[in-house]
Amino acid sequence: MEVLVSIIVPCYKHAHYLDESLQSVLNQTYSHWECIIVDDGSPDNTKEVAKKWLDTDGRFIYLEKQNGGLSSARNEGVKIAKGEYILPLDADDLLDSQFLEKLVPVLTSNSNLGIVSCYTKFFVQSKENVIYQLKPKGNYWKNLLYVNQLVATSLYRKSCWLQVCGYDESMKTGFEDWDFWLNVTKKGWEYLIVEDFLFYYRKAKKSMLVDTINNHFESNREYICKKHKELYIEDFENCMEVLFYEIKTHRVGKMKLKNSIEYKIGKVFTMPFRWFTKLVLKNK
């Protein structure tokens, strides 16, 4: 008998993308799935869009909750999931029609695997407009310490989610999936990458990932390092090498900026302002 897969689709302010995302679920050649649409207190017409899909196919399920962030929405969806396998899918992303058909047998055939992922195409507006291709590597926690090799839309066992008590709901500004993968793999589970482009990630000018990288990258990464410090201590030599490489890269970048023509011109134009500020402070 085929394994039931529960696809969890949190939605917050993405009702305008939801149809396309759910159509990619309906298009799956592997048919033994349920899809739980989690309305995370979305202020748009998510509920109306979801209802249309509930009327279309009985495998779609709607769950409404107060806004609590992405981790909270995923956790609530997984709690009611009946599937042995879980697949998170953000409401603006797309699955290839063979995603489940190709990944489910891999997870089923290897008891050491907790997670199976694939290659990803990043696109703008249309999935034909690909701007970047992601080909992750590795198979265990050491490969995840410094770069998150696994996209959030990776297939995993529900037993893994239960074992680590779900996603960290205090992480409201991103990297919650990175933290989750580390939690799972440090329990001894391995992951495997199917070398096929089966997932499409929508690259938007404004998104949670963009906000995380621009405004919360350092604080979130610090949180992950401290939370999983036993892993970074075990990998101490590599950890120091990565740390000082990044410090050097940052310093070289600052030096290049200071020596650039644009910086020198800007310094000349702001000189009167800086002189005036010093004068005002001196006479206070």
**For the chain, how many residues are written?**
284
- Helical spans, DSSP H, in the chain: 15-26, 46-56, 70-80, 99-109, 158-163, 176-185, 208-211, 217-227, 229-234, 236-258, 261-282
pTM: 0.86
Q: Specify the pLDDT at position 199.
A: 98
Profile the chain (284 residues) by mean pLDDT over runs of 10 residues.
Answer: 96 97 98 98 97 97 97 98 98 98 98 98 95 97 96 98 98 96 98 98 72 80 96 95 85 72 55 51 52
Query: How far apart are alpha carbons 202 and 121 in whole angstroms?
Result: 9
Element (DSSP H or E) covering residue 234: helix 229-234
Question: Minimal CA–CA distance to 23: which of 56, 48, 51?
Answer: 56
Residue 36 pLDDT: 98
Whether the CB-CB separation of 44 and 73 falls below 8 Å is answered with no
pLDDT of residue 209: 59
Residue 200 near residue 166 (C-beta atoms within 8 A): no
Domains of the chain: 5-206 (3.90.550.10), 237-282 (no CATH)
Cα angle for residues 113, 5, 74 (degrees, 5° grid): 90
Q: Is the sign of the CA dihedral 156, 160, 162, 165 positive or negative?
A: negative
pLDDT at 212: 65
Q: Identity (one letter) of the amino acid at 159?
A: S
Distance in angstroms (rounded) separating the CA atoms of residues 24 and 124: 17
Which amino acid, 101?
E
The span from the CA of 250 to the CA of 255, in Å, is: 9
- pLDDT score for 277: 52
